[in-house]
Amino acid sequence: MRRLGTCLVLLLGLYSTRAQAQVNVAQTVADRLRDGTITVSDVPYDGTDVRWGRATALIDARPDVVMRIVTDYARYAEFLPHFRVSRVLSQRGTSALVYLEAVVIHNTTTLWSQMRIRPRPDVGPTHVIEANMDRGNVDRMAARWEVTPVDNGQRTIVTFQFIIEPDVPFPDAIITDQTLRAARRTLESLRTRVILPEFVAQPAIGPSPSAAALAAPSGPACS
């Protein structure tokens, strides 16, 4: 029994050290983005030569404010570039089936998709929301939000990752370029949205998490 207790203590110590390291990495990323930079990169997607467009920015808002916007699926058309319609078909908590419609190629082509959006397990201090296509008139569409509190919960690193592959004969490189532009523009739009009075005026959902709290191991206490 004593050996088991020692193992549990060591495991909790390792978890706490790893969690603190993740918090430290996030804080380092935040320091690099304080000048307003939005970093953009393309990421491989299995099964296609079209690549994810991925963008990361430091958002001057608490993570609970960002999460309100990210999970307000019915209003995606208000700030996601190209999207003109966003309608929730069904929802339970933060999991939902959402109909999205976008106009692209100089407003000549309408794309639509039913997306299943759901939270995924946290990655350290990072909250993750993923969206994947159920059906639509495109070959594929998917998105991923990563929301990480920094500065003791007063600011947020947000990463938005997006891919769309229309069923049209366009070069993969051109489509990838469009996903990169869409990822960047989404975060630019998010920066504008978080300062709207309707979000600024709302109180935080519980206390803002501190770096120490994020690093602390969670789970049932052992006696």
10-81+119-214: in CATH 3.40.50 = no
CA dist 125 to 20, 64, 116, 158, Å?
9, 13, 24, 12
d(CA 89, CA 97): 5
The residue extents of the domains of the chain are 10-81+119-214
Q: Which of 101-115, 169-183, 192-206 has the highest mean pLDDT?
A: 169-183
d(CA 214, CA 19): 7
d(CA 159, CA 70): 11
Confidence of residue 220 (pLDDT cuts 50, 70, 90): very low
Q: Which letter, b or e, does each residue of 102-129 get, where b requires 16 or more Cβ atoms within 10 Å of its Cβ?
A: bebeeeeeebebebebbbeeeeebbbbb
Please say if the pLDDT value at position 38 is more than 50. yes
Confidence of residue 29 (pLDDT cuts 50, 70, 90): confident
Hey, what are 27's tokens? 């804080």
**The pTM is what?**
0.80
Q: How many residues are listed for the chain in this entry? A: 223
Q: What is the pLDDT of residues 107-160, one digit of tens each?
A: 677 899 999 999 999 999 999 999 999 999 999 999 999 999 999 999 999 999
Confidence of residue 198 (pLDDT cuts 50, 70, 90): confident
d(CA 2, CA 19): 26
Confidence of residue 211 (pLDDT cuts 50, 70, 90): very low
